[in-house]
Amino acid sequence: MLGGRFDEDGGPVVFARDAFGPLPAFLVGWIAYVSAIASAAAVSAGLAAAVAPMVGVAGAGGQRVAATLLVAGLALICAAGLRLSARTWTALTVLKLLPLVALALVYLAAPGSPPVPSPVTGGPAAAAGVEPKWQSAALVATFAYQGFEIVPVLAGQARRPATAVPFATVGSLAAAAALYVVLQAACASALPDLAASRAPLVDSALVHGGPGLAALVGAGMSVSALGIAFGMMAATPFYLAALARVDRLGFRLDSVDDRGVARRALLVTWALVTLLIQAGGRGELFALSSIAVLSQYIVTAAALLALALRKRRGLGGRHAALAVPAGAVALALVAGASAREAAVAAAALAGGLALRWGAHRRRPSSP
């Protein structure tokens, strides 16, 4: 709704700025930025850890080197221009979707009982006999719906953002939801004790399609991780650039060259991701992912409500009504965060506020 009414980069950052001012805009943009760089580091390190043994790289040090080289390569592709980044991102998306679509089609062709019984039995959830709080489970499930909020972050680079942004957001959500439903059904059909599987898609593919399909889906998972890391490296700098523009952080972090690349913001993002990979302690920051995405949804719903009530940007009462259930659902999901995850989010926000304070202090006062 809001994405089609703003023709500049930033997404929830510019929504919050227009509705509430620079401080709320900074807060939502900062936590999203911190989460994105932490997630990019974690995904890159995880991919390197999975692939490194296959190419003869052993040990934690070697895996960190592999992850560092991977991130550097992704950053170089992003620095070459937004057009190349878009083509690379599209290619990775197609490559990771093909195995999933193949599994979905195999299941739909024979959706009954699988021909081979599932080898997976037992599981930690069943053994513990404890059902998780539904908000916590829903918060974890929200991770699968991450990425869609990035669409309006790049609105300023779209040719016709008023139509392209809503179509891309709603269309990708609808297509992904349909695919998720079929894949979940395929996994549930193949794996009676689904919670015990550590690789449910691969195990389901083995049951429904044999070793060949399982190998294809396994390769697709690695490509998917690569696509996630690349997408974060391509889009995350625009969060920082939007923050710098909205809040005047300085250092020309808001500058975007004629190829559509926020070069300074990309350099900072690459350096921070590389630093997190070397530090190794990424687990706590990775927990920010779903909280950050939901915070963007909450701020977006609140901005939609505020702008609609003020009748700005062509919005009115019917748009305000849409904001209420969206914000309520996001708030209910955020309530599933643990105290530890909330503490990490609070620490990230405190660090951002300190950075903002320092940047404002070094800025010369207006005469």
**Total structural domains in the chain?**
1
Q: How far apart are CA 204 and CA 210, in angstroms?
A: 9
- The rounded distance, in Å, linking the Cα atoms of 44 and 64 is 9
Pair 239, 27: CB distance under 8 Å? no
**Within a domain: 263:** yes
Distances (CA, A) of 293 to 1, 32, 303: 17, 7, 15
Q: What is the pLDDT of residues 267-288, one digit of tens each?
A: 988 988 888 887 755 555 555 6
Q: How many CA atoms lie within 13 A of 331 on its CB side?
A: 10
The token duo for 244 is 């710098």
**Tens digits of residue pLDDT in 27-54:** 877 877 887 887 788 888 878 877 777 6
Closest CA to 306 of 18, 25, 30, 7: 18
- Report whether 270 contacts 72 (CB < 8 A): yes
354: CATH = 1.20.1740.10
Sign of the dihedral through C-alpha 53, 56, 60, 64: negative
**pLDDT tens for residues 243-276?**
787 777 767 777 877 887 888 888 988 988 888 8
Q: How far apart are CA 295 and CA 301, in angstroms?
A: 10
Q: What is the pLDDT of residue 130?
A: 44
Amino acid at 280: G
pLDDT given at position 330: 77
Domain extent, residue 248, equals: 3-121+135-359
Q: How far is CA 333 from the centre of its chain?
A: 16
Q: How high is the pLDDT of residue 335?
A: 73
Let me know if residue 216 belongs to a domain: yes
Q: Which two tokens stand for residue 96?
A: 């990771």
- At residue 367, the pLDDT reads 44
How confident is the model at residue 102, as a pLDDT?
92
Model pLDDT, residue 213: 92
Closest CA to 297 of 175, 147, 136, 89: 147
Does 74 map to a domain?
yes
Q: 154: which DSSP letter?
A: G
Residue 365 lies in a domain: no
Has residue 130 been placed in a domain?
no
**How far apart, in whole angstroms, are the C-alpha atoms of residue 323 and residue 10?**
20
129 lies in some domain = no
pLDDT value at residue 7: 60
What is the chain's mean pLDDT, rounded?
A: 76
* pLDDT value, residue 286: 56
- Measured distance CA(213)–CA(52) in Å, rounded: 23
In a domain, 366, yes or no: no
pLDDT in tens, 303-334: 888 888 888 777 777 778 888 887 887 777 77
Which of 96, 129, 305, 309 has the alpha carbon at shortest distance from 221? 96
Rounded Cα distance between 195 and 342, Å, is: 26
Please identify every stretch of the chain with a pLDDT value under 50, giving residue numbers as ranges. Answer: 117-132, 366-367
Does 128 fall in a domain?
no
Tokens of 102: 């193949």
Give the pLDDT of residue 12.
74
Angle at alpha carbon of residue 268, lines to 229 and 23, rounded to 5°? 100
